[in-house]
Amino acid sequence: MSSPLIEHFTRNGLLDRVYIDGEWVLPAGQDHAQVVDPSTEQPVAQVALGNAQDVDRAVAAARRAFSTWSASTPKDRAALLDRLHALVLERAELFAQVISLEMGAAIATARAAQVPVAAEHLRVARDLVTEYPFVTHRGDTAIVREPIGVCALITPWNWPLYQITAKVGPALAAGCTVVLKPSELAPLSALLFAQVVHDAGVPAGVFNLVNGGGGEVGAAMSAHPDVDMVSITGSTRAGVLVAQAAAPTVKRVAQELGGKSPNLILPDADLQGAVRAGVLSGFRNVGQSCSAPTRMLVPRERLAEVERIALETVATVVVGDPRDPQTTHGPVANRAQFNRVQEMIEAGIAEGARLVCGGTGRPAGLERGFYVRPTVFSGVQPRMRIAQEEIFGPVLSIIAYDSVDEAVAIANDTVYGLGAHVQGEDLAAARAVALRIRSGQVHINNPAWSPYVPFGGYKRSGNGREYGVEGLQEYLETKSILGWQGA
């Protein structure tokens, strides 16, 4: 299945190039990264990596383009975003196949979630830029919102296209120019997106892509004196390194980092629906979502019932070949992540948590590939590693509580604060609990996802917001012009 996909990249000369100043050019860097199919553990492609010299070239191109692009009209920027949106949808199947290959997403998930929600960020950016009040008035003062400048965008491997469009869409809508560094572990969808940018007619220098590792390319982007802002989605450790590198040049840093999201099931909740939805939400994208609700907080007197429903729900999960349309969960994305998940399952067992299902090793019948057994622990204590550390795999911790006040305290007992869930029949009570949870987003009774709702973290989950109007505003500076309307 992978051969025709890789032929597409080879035929179009994308694997050995970076995209700078409107052209596919050979990088100055000599290093390469292997792209590994996580379902087979076999390399399927080799991608050229840039270096600090390539970052200099890309930033210079973005700086030259900024003066013109920042002066373009919102209508013109909306028209370009509309073309980007249409081309992503036109090539949706190609994107889905590539994402499944590079990071192991089940093809059904790639088609239904990875690609469509990525396209939504472009659509929303297009709509917002035509409506946003870039100039408002306060007395005789004009309050002007202007593009911040050249933006370095650093994106991860777990939702590779989705995280790119969540940053590129609003940045271009705001009038900024960008340099993108996707994850070197899942770079193929980013190369496809760069080709979409090129085909859509984005002016030279407005969008640039340099593949590379965080230690060189990411660090060079973060420290660069001509970069005005860095936006990173990644681990908390990576976010700290970016902030440290950016500090000497006092640039804005927006960070969407790790999470350990609670799912607080109130005593009056519809237990069957709440637990089933909670398990599936925690395991979405094979647990490789920073906001996945991987701590399920339940009334102690209903613990046995919760365990039964969780076990029944996991039995509906189909782990297997990501190219099979019947598969619901493919492998985790890479060897390092596979090893991390195994380590954390071992830690849960060692600390005395009770296995409801799953455990270490691969599921039966899967002898190769980075496949993980969907795992549910119960009897988890709030200070156990599996209740405190981000695992980034299909591992759920069930924690019992004796009162709602205790449940809220457990929910907040983490260095993270990205997402949370509250489930209960009494909406007023659920709202009251949601207001007490220290996180950037709280879901009451599993509402539908919206690309208009701001997303971001408290505490070590980061700062700044993505999506919707708040995501657009991250790429804007505020200027006050006094005396605009005269004395």
The SS3 of residue 119 is helix
**pLDDT attached to residue 8:** 87
Cα 420 to Cα 293: distance, rounded to the nearest angstrom: 7
Q: Which helix (H) or strand (E) holds 93?
A: helix 92-103
Residue 435's identity, in one-letter code, is: L
| Secondary structure (3-state) at 193 | helix
CB-based contact 176:151 (threshold 8 Å): yes
Distance, CA of 262 to CA of 260 (rounded, Å): 7
Q: What Rg do the C-alpha atoms of the chain give, in angstroms?
A: 23
Q: Is 173 helix (H, G, I), strand (E, B) or coil?
A: helix
DSSP annotation of 27 reads: -
Angle at CA 456, nearest 5°, toward 178 and 391? 105
* DSSP class of 340: H
Catalytic residue IDs: 256, 290
d(CA 443, CA 343): 30
Cβ atoms of 417 and 461 within 8 Å: the answer is: yes
Long-range contacts of 403-412 (CB under 8 A, 24+ apart): 404/266, 404/267, 404/433, 407/264, 407/297, 407/433, 408/264, 408/433, 408/436, 408/437, 410/262, 410/295, 410/297, 410/382, 411/262, 411/264, 411/295, 411/297, 411/437, 412/436, 412/437, 412/438
Which is it for the CA torsion 320, 322, 327, 333, positive or negative?
positive
| 2-257+461-480: CATH number | 3.40.605.10
- The domain limits of the chain are 2-257+461-480, 262-450
Q: Would you write out the chain's pLDDT as a tens digit for each of its 487 residues? A: 457 889 889 888 899 999 999 999 999 989 999 999 999 999 999 999 999 999 999 999 999 999 999 999 999 999 999 999 999 999 999 999 999 999 999 999 999 999 999 999 999 999 999 999 999 999 999 999 999 999 999 999 999 999 999 999 999 999 999 999 999 999 999 999 999 999 999 999 999 999 999 999 999 999 999 999 999 999 999 999 999 999 999 999 999 999 999 999 999 999 999 999 999 999 999 999 999 999 999 999 999 999 999 999 999 999 999 999 999 999 999 999 999 999 999 999 999 999 999 999 999 999 999 999 999 999 999 999 999 999 999 999 999 999 999 999 999 999 999 999 999 999 999 999 999 999 999 999 999 999 999 999 999 999 999 999 999 999 999 999 999 987 5
- CATH code of the region 262-450: 3.40.309.10
Q: Please give the pLDDT value at position 1.
A: 45
Q: What is the structure's pLDDT at 487?
A: 52
Say whether 149 sits in a helix, a strand or coil: coil
Compute CA distances 143 → 231, 377, 395, 425, 480, whole Å. Answer: 24, 53, 48, 44, 5
The pLDDT, as a whole number, for residue 158 is 98
Eight-class DSSP state of 466:
B
